[in-house]
Copies of this chain bind each other. A is one copy, B any other.
């Protein structure tokens, strides 16, 4: 697999831009073998709310959060031409070989393999990284609604600067609340993934990464 891309849930807040991204992904799938993995979006927010109010068991919250990714994946597939939802690694490989874009619904694989801790430190970032590893992806691309990882939260701090490149060791000690989950660095290190965090509101940046260029984004070195 050339790349496994997480399509962040927050991108659904801007329909026109998300549709443009999904159209672009279909185009990219003609020249690159790629697999898309959905974020959890507002479905995962509902799980968080229920967890806050009911103090769910970790495993229950974990499984519900993964089902939230299935939900968002079904939605993404409905707006992505040439996409196919799939639950298996083999089928993902077949679809991407055929120039289609598989959208991976992770709940079945995650309940069978159960490879990650059941906690909120594991979100769709880590789950996508795990799938990228299983698919032997050359690249892991976390497509989100910000330009990458910043030195501080850019919404609160106008002095925050985009980190263009960071080692996985530095990422794991980074104190600032970043746009990626806390468990990600462990999987990137283990699977030796070449990882990028990029703003999906600018599809050309995603395309540039697939073409081995380095657009505005954060690159995480394994």
Q: Determine, out of A23-31, A50-58, A139-147, A163-171, the stretch whose residues face the partner at the interface.
A: A50-58
Interface residues on A, range: 20 to 34
CB <8 Å contact, B46 and A60: no
Proximity string of chain A (41-77) to chain B, C-beta cutoff 8 Å, 1 when within and 0 when not? 1110011011001101100100110011011001100
**A71 partner, pick from B67, B78, B79, beta carbons under 8 A:** B67
**A12 partner, pick from B12, B50, B57, B71, beta carbons under 8 A:** B50
CA distance A107 to B1 in the complex (A): 31
Majority SS at the chain A contact face: helix
CB <8 Å contact, A60 and B78: yes
Q: Which residues of A contact B (CB under 8 A)?
A: 12, 15, 19, 41-43, 46-47, 49-50, 53-54, 56-57, 60, 63-64, 67-68, 70-71, 74-75, 78-79
